[in-house]
Amino acid sequence: MNLENIKAVYIDDEPVNLMLVQAYAADFNLSITTFENSLEGLEYALKNDIDILYTDYMMPEIDGIELIKRFRKEHKEIPIVVITAVGDVQEVKLNALEAGATDFLSKPIDIAEFKARSLNLISLREAQLKLKDKALHLESEVEYATKEILNREHETLMVLGRAAEYKDEETSNHTTRVAHYSKVLANEYGLDEKMQEIIFYSSPFHDIGKIGIPDSILLKESFLDEEETKIMRSHAFIGKEILKDTQSPYLIEGEKIAYNHHEKFDGTGYPNGKKGDEIPISARIVSITDVFDALTSVRPYKKSWSFEEASDFLISQKGKHFDPILVDLFLNSIDKIRKIYDDLHE
C-alpha cells in the first residue's frame, strides 16, 4: 500500500488532538492536513481531492454531524471517521452513521486501533479508485467502439445513397449536395442536432427508388410521355419498399423522404396528394433542396439554371409546391448554399 499519494484531512478544535493524530499517522507514513476551524476544514475538504476525512464531533462552528451532512452532498464514497469522546452516547454514533459516517474512534485514541482502522479505510478508498478507473476505462472503450460503429453506419449510408445516381454521371454529386443543403435548412428551421444529422444521412435516399426505373426512361434526353411519366413516378413507391421495415433511424427517415419528397405543399403532388403538415418535415426540406440542385445542375434534358433563376422559381412556388417558411429560410441561407455548391460542383 503506497500512502504517499493518500490525502487525509483531520478537523478538530483541540490543537493537542491534531498534533497527536498527526504523530500517530506519521508512524505509518500517512500525511494529514489539519484544521482547528471546522468551517475552514470543510471548505478545504470540499475544494480538494482527498481520500479520507477525520472529524471531531463537538466543535464550536458546526459539529461533526453537520459537517458530515454537508460533505456528503458532494462526496458520497470518501471514508469519514468520527472521533468521539468516551462519554458520547450511542445516539450520537447513530446520528453520525445516518449522516454518512464510515467508522468511529474514541478518545483517548489508541495508536494501534487508529493505525488498523485507518489502513482498512485507505484500502477501501484505493479499491474505490481502482474500480472508478476501470469503469472510466471501460466507458472510454465503449464510447470508442460506439463511435466506430456509427462511423461505419454513416459510411454505409453514403455508399447506398450514391447507388441511386450511379447510372447518371451528370449528377454524381447530386445526393451529396442535397444532403448538405438539407442539413443547412434543417438547422435554420430549428430542428435539433440529432435530427439534422438524421436528415443529412437519410436525404441521399430520396431517389433510391430510381434503381427500379428502366434506363430507357431514366436516361431519356427528351420529355417523358404519359406512360413513361407514370413509370418514373413509381420510384417513390419503389424507394419506400426498399427502405421499409428497418430499425435504423436513418433508414426510417429515408423511407419517409423517398416516399414523400414529391408531394406538394398545396396537395397537388404524388403519390398520395398530401398537403401542408401532412408531409413529413424531412420530405418538405428535401423537396426544396432536391429541386434546387436539379435546377442548378446539368441534366440529359436541360442546361443548368443560375442561382438567381432557381431562387426565383422557389419564390414562385411558395405555398404551391413548397412550404413557404422553408423557402424563406433556404433563401436566407443562400450564401451557405452557394459555398456548398462551389465546393461540390462537378
Q: Please report, for the domain that includes residue 310, its CATH number.
A: 1.10.3210.10
β-partners of residue 299 are 302
Q: Half-sphere exposure (CA, 13 Å, Cβ side) for 255?
A: 12
For 279-316, letters b (16+ CB in 10 Å) and e give bbbbbbbbbbbbbbbbbbbeeeeeeebeeeebbeebee
**pLDDT tens string 156-197:** 776 676 666 666 554 558 888 999 999 999 999 999 999 999
Q: Is residue 60 part of a domain?
A: yes
- CB 61, CB 39: distance < 8 Å: yes
Q: In what order do the strands lie in the sheet with 52-56?
A: 32-35, 8-11, 52-56, 80-85, 103-107
- Verify that 268 and 226 share a domain, yes or no: yes
Q: Is residue 302 part of a domain?
A: yes
Nearest CA to 77 among 126, 32, 39, 114? 126
- Verify that 233 and 320 share a domain, yes or no: yes
Task: Give the chain's end-to-end CA distance (angstroms, integer).
Answer: 66
Q: Is residue 73 part of a domain?
A: yes
- Verify that 208 and 131 share a domain, yes or no: no
82 φ, ψ (degrees, to nearest 5): -95, 125
Q: Is residue 36 part of a domain?
A: yes
Q: 8 in helix, strand or coil?
A: strand
- pLDDT for 85 equals 74
- Verify that 38 and 130 share a domain, yes or no: yes
Q: Which domain holds residue 117?
A: 8-136
Q: 124 in helix, strand or coil?
A: helix
Nearest CA to 301 among 235, 227, 219? 219
Higher pLDDT, 75 or 86: 75
Q: What is the CATH number of the domain that holds 121?
A: 3.40.50.2300
Residue labelled with grid coordinates 435530427 = 195
Q: Is residue 331 part of a domain?
A: yes
- CB 34, CB 58: distance < 8 Å: no
- Verify that 119 and 203 share a domain, yes or no: no
Average pLDDT across the chain, whole number: 86
When divided into structural domains, the chain yields a total of 2
- Verify that 189 and 280 share a domain, yes or no: yes
- Verify that 128 and 172 share a domain, yes or no: no
What would the grid cell of residue 36 be?
A: 482547528
What would the grid cell of residue 199 be?
A: 436528415
Q: Is residue 327 part of a domain?
A: yes
- Verify that 105 and 236 share a domain, yes or no: no
The answer, yes or no, to whether residue 214 has pLDDT greater than 60, is yes
- Verify that 272 and 200 share a domain, yes or no: yes
Domain endpoint, select from 136, 155, 176: 136
- Verify that 189 and 332 share a domain, yes or no: yes
Q: What percent of the chain has pLDDT over 90?
A: 43
Q: Is residue 111 part of a domain?
A: yes
- Verify that 207 and 335 share a domain, yes or no: yes
- pLDDT for 300 equals 60
- Verify that 32 and 116 share a domain, yes or no: yes
Q: Label residue 105 by pLDDT band (50, 70, 90).
A: confident
β-partners of residue 9 are 33, 53
Q: 56 in helix, strand or coil?
A: strand
